[in-house]
């Protein structure tokens, strides 16, 4: 996850897309989103 966050912090913008099944995101995306919450504050502070 730290490698992904390092790449995110160097970008001007990020677009994330995922398929939906019965109007809910895929389990892979949900797992990513839950892990991303731990990094969200530092990410927002870095990008301003």
What's the 3-state SS for the chain?
CHHHHHHHHCCCCCCCCCCEECCEECHHHHHHHHHHCCCHHHHHHHHC
Q: Which residue has the higher pLDDT, 29 or 43?
A: 29
d(CA 31, CA 38): 12
pLDDT tens-digit series, residues 2-35? 787 788 778 888 898 988 888 899 888 888 888 8
Predicted local confidence at residue 2, as pLDDT? 77
Predicted local confidence at residue 38, as pLDDT? 72
Residue labelled with tokens 């913008």: 13
Predicted local confidence at residue 3, as pLDDT? 86
Predicted local confidence at residue 9, as pLDDT? 78
- pTM flag (> 0.75): no
């Amino acid at each position: 996850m730290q490698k992904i966050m390092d790449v995110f912090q160097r970008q001007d913008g990020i677009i994330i897309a995922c398929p939906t099944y019965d109007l809910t995101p895929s389990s892979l995306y949900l797992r990513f989103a839950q892990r991303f919450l731990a990094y969200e504050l530092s990410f927002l502070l870095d990008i301003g």
